[in-house]
C-alpha cells in the first residue's frame, strides 16, 4: 500500500539504525510529542534498537491524558442531569475523574452516548429537540476543526439544543512550558504529524529559534520516526537546529487553511489547565463570545468544587517527560488497564498503556 508498506520496511529500518550508530557522538534526550508516536516506538521495538546514547522521552501529546479532572467531573454532572444527553468519543469513557469515570456514570443510569463525529451529535439534537445534547469536545488542534464545524452546522440548522464542553489544548505552548522547566533536559523534539497536518509547521519556527532546539515533524510508522530521529541527530551533531518536515507527504508549511479557518471562526486562544501539569498560558481554545450559546460551560450552571488530583498517581511526571512509566512504583502492580489510576494507563495513546501492552521483558514482567 503506497505511503504505508514502504514506511514499515525492515531493511530500511536496519539501514537507518546502522547510520545512527555511525553518526551519533553525543548523548541526546529526544521527546516525541504525540502518544501515537510513543505507541509506535514501543510497539515496534524501536527504543530497544536505538544507540544507548539516544534517550526517547515521552511527551504530553495525549489529549485524553491531559484533560483535567474538573472537566471530566463536569461531563459526568451533565450526563446525570435530567433532559441532557452527553456525547463523547469512546476514548474518554474510561478516564477517571475525581470519583468515577463516564463509564461508571453510565452504569448508574447517566445518559452517555459514544459517537465517531460531533456531527452525529448535532443530528441527534436536531431529531430530538426535547433534550439538550452536549458533545464533550476534547483534543489537540487535530479535532478542533470538526468540533468547530459542529457548532457552525448547529447554527446553520437552527439547532439550539446543541452545545459543546470544550477542552482543546495546543502543542507549541506545551513545548515551551517544557523548555522553560528548570529540570528540562530535552535536546530535540519529534513534532506530531497529524497536528501539523492541520496547523502547518510555521508556528514551530519561533520555538526553534528562541530555544536553539531542533524540531522535526514526523509521521507514525517506524521509518517515519527513525528518519525523524536521524534528522534530529544530524542537526544536533552539526549544532544547526531548525524546523524540518519529514512528513512532507501529508504536512504542508501552511497546514490546512480550510480547517484553520473553521477553528478561527468558533474558537479563540485562552489559558488552559492540563491534567498533571497545571495551567499553561495561551495553551488552549475557548468558544468565542459570538457562539457562547453553544458553550456548555456557559449554558449550564456547574457546581463549584475543588478536584484535587489523586496523590498516588505519578502520571503528571510521565506527561512532563520526567518519569518513564516503568519507573513508577505502581506501574503494573496496582495501576493496570483494568484498574487505571491515571489517564495515561486508560487512553490508547497513553505512555503507560503503551509500555504495559507492548514493552518487552527488558522493561516489564508481564510481557
The pLDDT assigned to 333 comes to: 85
Same domain, 131 and 221: yes
Q: Measured on CA atoms in the order 31, 116, 64, 352, is the torsion positive or negative?
A: negative
Same domain, 344 and 220: no
Same domain, 75 and 188: yes
- In this predicted structure, the answer to whether residue 366 has a pLDDT above a threshold of 60 is no
Q: Is 69 helix (H, G, I), strand (E, B) or coil?
A: helix
Decide if 77 contacts 302 (C-beta within 8 A). yes
The pLDDT assigned to 362 comes to: 46
Neighbours of 259 (CB within 10 A): 19
Same domain, 334 and 271: no
Nearest to 131 by CA among 84, 87, 64, 178: 84
Residue 262 lies in a domain: yes
Mean pLDDT, residues 40-69 = 90
Tell me which residue range forms the domain holding 347: 315-358
Q: What is the average pLDDT score of the chain?
A: 90
Decide if 60 contacts 277 (C-beta within 8 A). yes
Same domain, 251 and 326: no
CATH of the domain at 262: 3.40.50.11740
Same domain, 263 and 323: no
- In this predicted structure, the answer to whether residue 285 has a pLDDT above a threshold of 80 is yes
The pLDDT assigned to 307 comes to: 56
Question: Of 311, 330, 345, which residue constitutes the final position of a domain?
Answer: 311
- In this predicted structure, the answer to whether residue 199 has a pLDDT above a threshold of 90 is yes
Unique residue bearing C-alpha cell 464545524: 149
Same domain, 119 and 209: yes
The pLDDT assigned to 360 comes to: 54
Amino acid at each position: 500500500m503506497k505511503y504505508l508498506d514502504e514506511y514499515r520496511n525492515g531493511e530500511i529500518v536496519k539501514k537507518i539504525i546502522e547510520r545512527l550508530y555511525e553518526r551519533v557522538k553525543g548523548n541526546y534526550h529526544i521527546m516525541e510529542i504525540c502518544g501515537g508516536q510513543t505507541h509506535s516506538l514501543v510497539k515496534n521495538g524501536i527504543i530497544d534498537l536505538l544507540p544507548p546514547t539516544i534517550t526517547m522521552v515521552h511527551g504530553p501529546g495525549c489529549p485524553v491524558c491531559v484533560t483535567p479532572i474538573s472537566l471530566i467531573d463536569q461531563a459526568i454532572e451533565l450526563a446525570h442531569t435530567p433532559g441532557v444527553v452527553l456525547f463523547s468519543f469512546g476514548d474518554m469513557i474510561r478516564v477517571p475523574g475525581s470519583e468515577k469515570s463516564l463509564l461508571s456514570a453510565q452504569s448508574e443510569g447517566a445518559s452517555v452516548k459514544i459517537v465517531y463525529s460531533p456531527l452525529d451529535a448535532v443530528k441527534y439534537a436536531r431529531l430530538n429537540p426535547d433534550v439538550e445534547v452536549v458533545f464533550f469536545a476534547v483534543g489537540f488542534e487535530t479535532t478542533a476543526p470538526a468540533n468547530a464545524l459542529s457548532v457552525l452546522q448547529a447554527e446553520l440548522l437552527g439547532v439550539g439544543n446543541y452545545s459543546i464542553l470544550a477542552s482543546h489544548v495546543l502543542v507549541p505552548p506545551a513545548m515551551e512550558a517544557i523548555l522553560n522547566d528548570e529540570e528540562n533536559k530535552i535536546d530535540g523534539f519529534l513534532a506530531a504529524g497529524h497536528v501539523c497536518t492541520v496547523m502547518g509547521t510555521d508556528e514551530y519556527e519561533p520555538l526553534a529559534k528562541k530555544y536553539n532546539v531542533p524540531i522535526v515533524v514526523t509521521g507514525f510508522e517506524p521509518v517515519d520516526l527513525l528518519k525523524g530521529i536521524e534528522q534530529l541527530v544530524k542537526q544536533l551533531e552539526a549544532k544547526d537546529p531548525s524546523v524540518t518536515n519529514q512528513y512532507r507527504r501529508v504536512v504542508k508549511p501552511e497546514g490546512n487553511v480550510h480547517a484553520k479557518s473553521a477553528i478561527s471562526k468558533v474558537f479563540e486562544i485562552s489559558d488552559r489547565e492540563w491534567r498533571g501539569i497545571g495551567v499553561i498560558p495561551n495553551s488552549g481554545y475557548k468558544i468565542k463570545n459570538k457562539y457562547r450559546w453553544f458553550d456548555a460551560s456557559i449554558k449550564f450552571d456547574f457546581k463549584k468544587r475543588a478536584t484535587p488530583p489523586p496523590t498516588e498517581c505519578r502520571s503528571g511526571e510521565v506527561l512532563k517527560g520526567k518519569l518513564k512509566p516503568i519507573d513508577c512504583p505502581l506501574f503494573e502492580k496496582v495501576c493496570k488497564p483494568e484498574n487505571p489510576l491515571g489517564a495515561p494507563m486508560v487512553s490508547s495513546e497513553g505512555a503507560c498503556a503503551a509500555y504495559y501492552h507492548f514493552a518487552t521483558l527488558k522493561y516489564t514482567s508481564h510481557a
